[in-house]
């Protein structure tokens, strides 16, 4: 018996400002949309995993059930930094592979419009006293003394480090990455921003943390995404149309930071991403050269550059040449962030991991409209959250 798992239904809400909807409203909208897309109902679902990062420990999954149907199934409430949505999906996949059920629902939702820069640290004092405690306290951030704890500053440093190591990563090059993503967004009606921006506009905008100006930063917004996942055996009992639209999960990987001799304060987003990519390619039996499109975690333009390398879309140290070749544009050899990426589509944290997969699924189904990558058969979705957690999923078009 095959242990393959398939995405049967998937949806995302419009990303942006939803002043008239709360977290549960958005999550319920996405969940019901995914069920309808898959042609199933809540009574078919055997497990629910709900991702929400900023909810303060609320039982999001149970609250979603109160709107879409309470059936007594197990609920997992997931929080895993920016990889929260991908972790929720992986939770349902693991439940199905374990044989506990044959169909599951994963939801990711966040209300982040107006959240600012999501600074990770708190104010530090210079008093003559010791405050940090425990293992984490001894390596806690030192914002304002050494480096920064804010996301824009951290990822600015990550991009600049890559440039210092390999060369060629200029302010203009990072702005051109953002120019690409804003151009791609004009074809995505569900993106928070759908306006093309010139290189001059991007470089001349407000500087947030050099070399990232405002348009080069991910957009905090409201949104939700959900996916229905089904076992191979169950899929075989469904209609021909359901089988035709199902997307195979060829690989599902989640990694965290390995031990390495390194600074325990400054984050390393590279090693765990490269480890996740390597495992995913091995699971799926494909290589980077087989990918027809990629949705990667471009929380900042600087992040997109380093992840070209981490996902092995180019030789080590070759990210600048990869971008300059035109490969990651929609009409290039390896289209990256055809959705507009987090810089345009938006980044409601817990929803992003499933929303990236939504984009890949639509191309593999041939349902992406004017931004369709023709003949797409294999795609990769990637997210990373500082702390750190990295999720990589490789998806394949159905042969049905």
Same-domain status, 74 and 173: no
Give yes or no for residue 142 having a pLDDT over 90.
no
Angstrom CA distances, 84 to 43, 54, 120, 192, stand at 25, 11, 17, 20
For range 217-242, the mean pLDDT: 96
Q: Give pLDDT tens digits for 375-387.
A: 999 999 999 998 8
Quote the mean pLDDT of the chain: 92
Whether 137 is covered by a domain: the verdict is no
Q: 138 in a domain, yes or no?
A: no
Structure tokens at 23: 């977290």
Q: Is 129 part of any domain?
A: no
What pTM, to 2 d.p., does this model score?
A: 0.93
User: Hey, how many other C-beta atoms are within 10 angstroms of the C-beta on 238?
Assistant: 18
200 and 101 belong to one structural domain: no
Determine the Cα–Cα distance for residues 112 and 91; give it in Å rounded to an integer.
24
Query: What mean pLDDT do residues 197-216 have?
Result: 96
Q: In this structure, are 81 and 195 located in the same domain? A: no
In a shared domain, residues 380 and 337: yes
Claim to verify: residue 359 and residue 211 sit in the same structural domain = yes
220 neighbors 113 (Cβ within 8 angstroms): yes
User: Are 28 and 84 in a shared domain?
Assistant: yes
Q: Among 179, 110, 70, which Cα is nearest to 354's?
A: 110
Which tokens go with 110?
């966040």
Question: Tens of pLDDT along 207-223?
Answer: 999 999 999 999 899 99
Q: Are residues 261 and 369 in the same domain?
A: yes
Identify the CATH number of the domain in which residue 287 sits.
3.40.47.10
What's the total number of domains in the chain? 2
Handedness of CA 349, 351, 354, 359 (dihedral sign): negative
Residues 65 and 159 in one domain: no
267 in helix, strand or coil?
Answer: coil
Does 133 fall in a domain? Answer: no
CA separation for the pair 303, 297 (Å, rounded): 7
Cα–Cα distance measured from residue 252 to residue 394, given in angstroms and rounded to the nearest whole number:
7
Q: Is residue 18 part of a domain?
A: yes
Taking residues 227-235, report their average pLDDT: 98
Mark whether 281 and 239 lie in a shared domain: no
If asked whether residues 338 and 280 sit together in one domain, one would say yes
Inter-residue contact 132 to 141 (CB < 8 Å): no
Q: Which domain covers residue 34, as residue numbers?
A: 5-115+221-249
The answer to whether position 136 is within a domain reads: no
Give the helix, strand, coil percentages of the chain, each rounded to 5: 40, 20, 40
At 126 the pLDDT is 53
Q: By CB neighbour count within 10 A (0-12 exposed, 13-18 middle, 19+ buried), where does 120 fall?
A: middle
242-255 pLDDT, tens digit each: 999 999 999 999 99
Q: Rounded distance, CA 66 to CA 209, Å? A: 42
Question: Is there a domain that residue 131 lies in?
Answer: no
What does the pLDDT average to over 173-179?
Answer: 98
Q: Do 382 and 339 form a contact (C-beta atoms < 8 A)?
A: no
pLDDT digits (tens, 9 = 90+) for 79-130: 999 999 999 999 999 999 999 999 999 999 999 987 765 544 444 455 566 5
Does residue 14 fall inside a structural domain? yes
Tokens 């180019």 label which residue? 314
Sole residue written with tokens 């140290």: 317
pLDDT at 133: 63
Same domain (yes/no): 260, 365: yes
Query: Which pLDDT belongs to residue 399?
Result: 77
**Is there a single domain that holds both residue 305 and residue 332?**
yes
Instruction: Extract the tokens encoding 196.
Output: 């093309």
Are the CB atoms for 96 and 258 separated by under 8 Å?
no
Residue 306 burial by CB count (10 A; 0-12/13-18/19+): exposed, middle or buried? buried
């Amino acid at each position: 018996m095959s242990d393959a798992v398939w995405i049967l239904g998937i949806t995302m809400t419009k990303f942006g400002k939803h002043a008239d909807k709360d977290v549960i409203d958005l999550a319920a909208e996405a969940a019901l949309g995914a069920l309808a897309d898959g042609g199933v109902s809540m009574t078919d679902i055997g497990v629910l995993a709900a991702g929400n990062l900023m909810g303060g420990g609320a039982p999001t999954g149970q609250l979603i059930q109160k709107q879409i149907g309470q059936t007594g199934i197990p609920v997992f409430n997931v929080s895993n930094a920016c990889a929260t949505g991908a972790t929720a999906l992986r939770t349902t996949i693991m439940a199905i592979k374990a044989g506990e059920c044959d169909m599951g629902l994963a939801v990711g939702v966040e209300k982040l419009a107006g959240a600012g820069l999501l600074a990770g640290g708190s104010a530090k004092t210079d008093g003559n006293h010791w405050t940090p405690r425990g293992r984490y306290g001894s390596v806690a951030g030192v914002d304002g003394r050494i480096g920064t704890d804010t996301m824009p500053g951290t990822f600015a440093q990550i991009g600049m480090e890559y440039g210092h190591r390999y060369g060629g990563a200029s302010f203009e090059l990072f702005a051109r990455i953002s120019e690409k993503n804003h151009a791609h967004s004009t074809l995505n009606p569900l993106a928070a921003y759908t306006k093309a921006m010139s290189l001059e506009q991007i470089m001349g905008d407000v500087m947030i943390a050099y070399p990232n100006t405002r348009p080069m930063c991910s957009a905090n917004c409201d949104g939700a995404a959900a996916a229905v996942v089904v076992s191979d055996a169950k899929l075989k009992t469904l209609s021909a149309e359901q089988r035709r639209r199902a997307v195979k999960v060829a690989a599902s990987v989640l990694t965290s930071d390995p031990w390495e001799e390194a600074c325990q304060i400054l984050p390393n987003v590279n090693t765990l991403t490269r480890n996740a990519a390597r495992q995913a390619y091995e699971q799926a039996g494909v290589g980077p050269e087989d990918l027809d499109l990629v949705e990667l975690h471009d929380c900042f333009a600087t992040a997109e550059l380093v992840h070209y390398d981490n996902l092995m879309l180019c030789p080590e140290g070759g990210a600048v040449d990869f971008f300059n070749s035109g490969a990651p544009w929609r009409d290039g050899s390896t289209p990256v962030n055809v959705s507009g990426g987090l810089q345009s589509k938006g980044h409601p944290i817990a929803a992003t991991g499933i929303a990236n997969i939504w984009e890949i699924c639509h191309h593999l189904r041939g349902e992406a409209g004017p931004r369709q990558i023709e003949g797409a058969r294999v795609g990769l979705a990637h997210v990373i959250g500082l702390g750190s957690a990295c999720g990589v999923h490789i998806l394949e078009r159905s042969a049905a």
